[in-house]
Every structure is written in structure tokens, then in C-alpha cells.
Amino acid sequence: MSQNLSDYLKQCLTDDRLQRFDEVVKFRTRHLTVVLENVYHEHNASAVLRTCDCLGIQDVHVIESQNSFAPNPEVALGASKWLTVHNYRSDSEPSNDSQLNVSVDCIRHLKEEGFRVVATSPRQDSLPLSDVTIDQKTAIVFGAEQIGVSDEALSESDDLVHIPMYGFTESFNVSVSAAVILQPLTTLLHASDIDWQLTDTERGDLIERWVRQSLGSTLAPLIRRFNDEQGRL
């Protein structure tokens, strides 16, 4: 039944569209993932999500513990509706304790899932970008504008990474940093013999989600019509 609904919905999209889904899904990966810790500005968060889509990084973990003035997460989500965004928010009112727990929980969760967690930091003991390896599943953590990744997230991380800087200006904007770090790691991944692609099941599920996403406001009426037709059979 669910398979039939899925086929029914697919028929409502053009062949070109469905072919694009097939092309894009081939390059999707969960071997690399991204964590955004309290990135305040919506345009920065959106730009990072856009970069993830461009590079095929499917999962983004968004920590919003300190940011009570957070832009509507749906907006940034809308900018990259093709991604899987995992939200981590504190349940309680912002306090130091709850803030720390959200970041730490997110990182521990990723480590339990087998990720090596690499946080961006200008600290002296951090690796230059060209030394980062991705043999293991890897999560890259980007921090808030100005203050960077929190101390708590840094101490939970397995490694640190920085982009070498040689000028008077000593930092890139977070959206620029993300692209500069993620692009070569993606190239490295594609050139490796790592099994980085999604499984057939994951691909099927993702395409089904993309189909529904594409149908937008016509999805609900189409499902109703499908159910009516099924009822008449």
C-alpha cells in the first residue's frame, strides 16, 4: 500500500525531476556530517546548509541552546529542504547547565553512532585542514560567530581542525570556513575506497521524502485522492 502511494506520488512529478533525484541521491553521504553549535545569524546557517547540499552531506545537526533569539528554524530548513536536519534544543530556560548539556549530548550521541568528532578551533594544538583524515565516519563542528565552538564541545571532541591563516585578518566567516573545510574532505571521500554512499534502503526513503517535499501543498489533496481511489477499488 505504502509502495503504491509512493509510486502514485512519483507520477505527479516530471521525469526530469525524478531523474535529478536519482543523480543527486548517488552523491549523498552520511560518512561526513556537520554540527552547527549556536550559529546565530540565519544567513550563515542557511549558507552552511546550502554548502552541505552542494557537497552531498545529508545530515546536519543544529544545536540551539544559547540562542533564544534564534531565527525560525523552518526558514533555514526551507533553504535546504533536501537535507536531514537534526535539532538539539534545551528543554529548560537558558542557563549555563542546560546550554552545556545540549552540546555535550549531541556530541556524545554522534560518538555513540561511530563518529569521530572534529571541532573547528584556532587553538595551537588543532590540526591544519590538510592533515585531517576521514577514514572513520567524521562529524565537523562549527561554532557561533565571534566566540567559536564552546569549551565544553571542544573538550568532548576527538580532534580539532583549523584553516591556516597568514594575514592580518585571522578568521573566516563561519559559512566560508564550512565550505573551505568540507569541500576538500568531500573530494578526499570520493577519491577513497570508503563505502560512503547511502544504502539502497536509505536512498529509497530519501527519494520518497524528496517527492513529498516537492509536491508541497498539493501533497495532502493527492494523498486524499489516492485514498479515495483505493476505497473505490
Q: Which residues form the interface with a copy of itself (CB under 8 A)?
A: 20, 24, 27-28, 47, 50-56, 80, 82, 129-130, 163-173, 175-176, 179-180, 183-184, 186-187
Quick one: 8 or 172, whose CB is closer to a copy of itself? 172
Count the neighbouring beta carbons within 10 Å of the beta carbon of residue 65.
Answer: 23
Q: To the nearest whole angstrom, how small is the minimum distance from the Cβ of residue 80 to a copy of itself? A: 8
CB of 82 to a copy of itself, least distance (A): 5
Locate all alpha helices (DSSP H) within the chain, ordered by sequence. Answer: 2-10, 15-26, 42-55, 73-79, 96-112, 151-156, 174-191, 200-215, 219-232
The CB-of-30 to a copy of itself minimum distance in angstroms stands at 14
Cβ distance to a copy of itself smaller for residue 155 or 213: 213
Given a contact cutoff of 8 angstroms between Cβ atoms, the answer to whether 37 and 153 are in contact is yes
Q: Give least dist CB 42 to a copy of itself, A.
A: 15
The C-alpha cell that represents 176 in the structure block:
566560508
Which residue's CB is nearer to a copy of itself, number 34 or number 106?
34
Q: Which is nearer to a copy of itself, 1 or 191 (CB)?
A: 191
The greatest distance separating any two alpha carbons of the chain, rounded to the nearest whole angstrom, comes to: 72
Look at residues 92, 96, 84, 107 and name the one whose alpha carbon lies nearest to residue 155. 107
CB of 177 to a copy of itself, least distance (A): 8
Instruction: Report the C-alpha gap between 17 and 66 in whole angstroms.
Output: 39
Query: Are 198 and 206 within 8 A, CB to CB?
Result: yes
Smaller CB distance to a copy of itself: residue 5 or 77?
77
Helix ranges (H only) for 113-218 are: 151-156, 174-191, 200-215
Q: Find the shortest distance in angstroms from Cβ 78 to a copy of itself.
A: 13
By C-beta, is 52 or 139 nearer to a copy of itself?
52
Per-residue exposure over 156-167, b if at least 16 CB sit within 10 Å of its own CB, e if not: bbebbbbbeeee
Rg of the chain over all Cα atoms, to the nearest angstrom: 20
Angle between helices 200-215 and 2-10 (to 10 degrees): 60
CB of 11 to a copy of itself, least distance (A): 21
- C-beta closer to a copy of itself: residue 150 or 177: 177
